[in-house]
Amino acid sequence: MKVGLTQFCVGPDPKTNAKQLESLVLQGIDDGCEFILTPEACNVIQPDRAVLQQTVSHAEEDPVFQMAQRVAAERQVFICLGSLLVQGGGEGKLVNRQILLDPAGAVINSYDKIHLFDVSIGDGQHYGESEIFAPGDEAVVSALPDTGAVLGHTICYDVRFPSLHQTLAMAGANVLLVPAAFTQKTGRAHWHTLLRARAIETGSWLLAAGTCGEHAGGRRTYGHSCVVNPWGEIVAEIASETNEELLSYALDFKDVTTARSAIPALDNARTFHLPSSL
């Protein structure tokens, strides 16, 4: 299965982002990709939370969703919107939602980001996602008919939680999705290591599509979208923090079988107890 990963600098206007993203998606389709993954928050990055609340809509009304649904149906490909920031959370909060579309443009599945980024990393910015977003509480796996792919859905900060990825792989996932808007600082320190670790631990393909460049409010994200094979090797990458590009690569699912046979960590995993005296 040939996949395409989009990397671009998401702005504060969903309509503008939809046009920019469509160009990249079409590049991937023209290159023969059967599946396209976009970054996290691909419809809007807006640091002013009051403005963000006014800007985002429900998913079906979002310009990026509408574009992706139209293109998926017209060109008969799978498109996974790495995430959209949308209305629909409890207590008036937003949701960071990943949406998978089939080649007819219908929604196959959706996943709400479980782990919210509530940190201060010393770059002068506070990231308190739980202050505005409601977390999800369900892990999600999706099979793509006639491709051999079984997707494990995650978003950005989820990559720091190995148990989620192990659960997805043990439920049948052979491709882990990690769309992200990784900060420049944490990306330079941790991005490649985390991606390789999750692929190695599960013997899975890993697709990581990231935002890049400088966004509204001066926030910078790391880019470096990449494909990691089930042995933990980075086999394709947009090696830039600023380049807006489409990365394509053909996955061979025999590599999953080979990796998991060599290191059967999923089969060898055991439950255990922590003594109360510790």
State residue 232's pLDDT score. 98
Percentage of residues in the chain with pLDDT exceeding 90? 91
Report the chain's terminal Cα–Cα distance, integer Å.
48
d(CA 185, CA 62): 30
Kindly tell me if the per-residue pLDDT of 120 is higher than 80.
no
**113 has catalytic annotation:** yes
Per-residue pLDDT at 70 exceeds 90: yes
List, for residues 166-225, the tens digit of each pLDDT value: 999 999 999 999 999 999 999 999 999 999 999 999 999 999 999 999 999 999 999 999
Q: Is 185 a catalytic residue?
A: no
Active-site hit among 42, 80, 156, 212: 156
- CB of 278 closer than 8 Å to CB of 60: no
Can you give the pLDDT at residue 118?
A: 87
What average pLDDT does this structure show over 12-22? 98
Q: Is the distance from CB of 181 to CB of 45 less than 8 angstroms? A: yes
Q: Please answer whether residues 199 and 232 qualify as being in contact, where contact means their C-beta atoms are separated by less than 8 angstroms.
A: yes
Please say if 156 is a catalytic residue.
yes
Catalytic residue chosen out of the listed positions 9, 42, 113, 212: 113
Is residue 121 pLDDT above 90, yes or no? no
What lies within 8 Å, CB to CB, of 94 at 6+ separation is 52, 53, 56, 85, 86, 87, 88, 132, 133, 134
Strands 107-112 and 94-101: antiparallel
pLDDT at 83 over 90: yes
